[in-house]
Amino acid sequence: MSNSKWIRLIKKLVDNADKVLKIEFKKVQQSGIGVLYFNQDTEFGFDYWQNGFEGNNSLGGWLTFKEIEYLFFSKTVDSAKHIEQDLEQIETLIESVGKFSLETDEKGLKLLCYK
Q: Is 7 helix (H, G, I), strand (E, B) or coil?
A: helix
Domain of residue 41: give its range.
3-112
Question: Cα separation of 48 and 54, whole Å?
Answer: 6
Out of 13-17, 86-90, 96-100, least confident range:
13-17
Is 93:19 a contact under the CB 8 Å cutoff? yes
Q: How many residues does the chain have?
A: 115
pLDDT of 33 strictly over 90: yes
Cα four-point dihedral sign 85, 61, 70, 97:
positive
Domain total in the chain: 1
Out of 8-17, 28-37, 49-58, 84-93, least confident range:
49-58
Q: What is the pLDDT of residues 56-95, one digit of tens each?
A: 788 888 888 889 999 999 999 999 999 999 999 999 999 9
pTM: 0.90
Is 34:22 a contact under the CB 8 Å cutoff? no
